[in-house]
Chains A and B, each alone.
Chain A
Amino acid sequence: QKEVEQNSGPLSVPEGAIASLNCTYSDRGSQSFFWYRQYSGKSPELIMFIYSNGDKEDGRFTAQLNKASQYVSLLIRDSQPSDSATYLCAAEGGGSTLGRLYFGRGTQLTVWP
């Protein structure tokens, strides 16, 4: 069974701080990784994807990938109360499961003013 594990949280940070969300995956064949944000009662929305080792930045969000360690992270700089949500990490399956995303259980983030 291909697995994606996330730090369970919940994570609570003050406004303006850096929030760090972590994820590990079991399938060494996985090449692409995604972060989704899900507000309470809503559906997930894609905020970042990464497929190369290293960092990828988009505004206040930075995704980091280390394939040797099978580790993905998401940093949110200058956290805002509007960032309060559950963040889902997903890995695309390799081989015969190419195209299918495997999701972690999510990390709930609260940013307090």
Chain B
Amino acid sequence: DGGITQSPKYLFRKEGQNVTLSCEQNLNHDAMYWYRQDPGQGLRLIYYSQIVNDFQKGDIAEGYSVSREKKESFPLTVTSAQKNPTAFYLCASSRGGDYGYTFGSGTRLTVV
């Protein structure tokens, strides 16, 4: 079955530590996205990529980094520069047009 897989489901980060969230899709979608969701805030775009080896900053990119070396993969690194990283992180992919986004199941990151 085609889909988009995020791992891990839960992640705990210590102060000053970088962590990487995985996002893999086998839908053959060109575009991939990372969103952050906080209670009452809706979805805020961190980074997006419309093609391999290219990506753009979203609205809240500070303290995050990404890479897009393969079409299937779009990992997100939460760096120590991100001062308030506790949130629900959602990865999505899209083939464009009227199909919208397909979301992964999310990673819940907590700072300990």
Residues of A within 8 A of B (CB): 32, 34, 36, 42-46, 49, 51, 88, 90, 99-101, 103-106
> Which chain B residues numbered 84 to 106 have a C-beta less than 8 Å away from chain A?
90, 94, 96-106
Our pick among B42, B90, B96 for the contact of A99 (Cβ within 8 Å) is B96
CA distance A64 to B90 in the complex (A): 27
Whether B90 and A44, one on each chain, are in contact in the complex, defined by CB atoms closer than 8 angstroms, is: yes
In angstroms, how far is the closest chain A Cβ from the Cβ of B55? 13
B103-A43 in contact (CB<8A): yes
Complex CA gap A43/B45 in Å reads 15
Q: Check A100–B100 contact: CB distance below 8 A.
A: no
What are 29 A-B interface contacts by the 8 Å CB criterion? Answer: A32-B97, A32-B98, A36-B100, A42-B105, A42-B106, A43-B90, A43-B104, A43-B105, A44-B43, A44-B90, A44-B101, A45-B103, A46-B100, A46-B102, A49-B98, A49-B99, A49-B100, A51-B98, A88-B42, A90-B100, A99-B50, A99-B96, A100-B48, A101-B100, A103-B43, A104-B42, A105-B40, A105-B41, A106-B42
Closest to A31 in B: B98
Interface size class of B (residues with CB under 8 A): 20 to 34
**A34→B100 contact, CB < 8 A:** yes
Among residues of A, the one whose C-beta sits closest to the C-beta of B108 is: A41
B66 contacts partner chain A, Cβ-Cβ < 8 Å: no
Complex CA gap A99/B98 in Å reads 10
The answer to whether the Cβ of B31 comes within 8 Å of any Cβ in the partner chain is yes
Please, how many angstroms separate the alpha-carbon atoms of A28 and B48 in the complex?
23
Chain A residue nearest to B102 in the complex (CB): A46
Contacts of A90 in B (CB 8 A): 100
Q: Give A108's nearest chain B residue, CB to CB.
A: B40
Q: B42 near A103 (CB under 8 angstroms)?
A: yes
Contacts of B97 in A (CB 8 A): 32
Cα distance, A101 to B50, chains bound together (Å): 13
